[in-house]
Structures are given as C-alpha cells and as structure tokens.
Amino acid sequence: MAGPREITPDLARMVGEACIGTRIQRAARSVSRVYDAAFRTVGISGWQFTLLMTLAGPETPTINELAARLSLDPSTATTNLKVLERRGLVAVGVDESDRRVRRLTLTEAGRALIAEALPRWEEAQKESLGRLSAGEIGVLRKALAALAE
C-alpha cells in the first residue's frame, strides 16, 4: 500500500474534474433548483412533489417501503412525510392485516395539490431536458438507472 499523497492544487483540480460524485451532486442541485422554482407557486418543493407523486401510485407503502423505493433512510423519509401529513396531504393509517404496520396514503388534498403542480412539473421537465439532445436524454436515463442500482 502506498503512503499518503501530497495534496497539491493540481491534484485537487484533477479530482474535482474527474469525480463522478461531485458531478452528479452539481447536476442534481442545478436541476433541483429548476423544479423547486416551478413548485414554489403551489407551496411545495421538488422533493415533496416526488414523495406525493410516489404515493399517488396504486400501492399504499409503509414508510420503510417508500424509503427503499426512493433510496432514503427511513428516518429521513419520516421527517419529510411528517411535514406533508401536518399539511393534510398524506395520511398514515393502520394496515388492515397487521395493526402494527403503518401505511401511507395520499389524501384528496394531496391529490388536488399534485394535480395543480403537474403543469409546473411539465414545465420544469421541459426546461431541464431542453439542455440535452434526445440521444443524451436516453443515455442519461440509462446511466442514472445503472448508478442507482
């Protein structure tokens, strides 16, 4: 095993330019700003829209199932969901077959809010994807799916 390397400005620059983690974080922050700005008019963030839209699906997941689906720590999911629950957008109910299990559902107010937010999502999606060619979009989606596994 080699000893510690000297951290030089050239090494720092090289790592900064090559690091996929840094590149993805920068891209994520840039794209998140677009979505957050779009949803600001309906009083939610891009991340809250993602949570609400995930709950609009056919399943009524547990917090752990939702966290796994979104690659979140369950405590982070819980913290984010409590905000939406306080606003009446999400309900936490008891599972019919196992009363120890809590299931998440989107309320009617939550459905109404994401219906109102959907045109803003379409605008943000168009703006974000407009930076790329059709071929780049396909490659990006495939690459992101591979990295998320």
Token pair, residue 39, equals: 């949803």
Q: What is the per-residue pLDDT for 1?
A: 63
Read off the pLDDT of residues 53-101 as tens digits, 9 standing for 90 and up.
Answer: 999 988 899 999 999 999 999 999 999 999 999 999 999 999 888 888 8
Q: What is the DSSP-derived secondary structure letter of residue 94?
A: E
Domain edges within the chain: 15-148
Q: Are 84 and 48 in contact (CB under 8 A)?
A: yes
Please give the model's pTM, rounded to 2 decimal places.
0.85
Q: Which CATH number fits domain 15-148: 2.60.120.10, 3.40.50.300, 1.10.10.10, 3.30.70.100?
A: 1.10.10.10
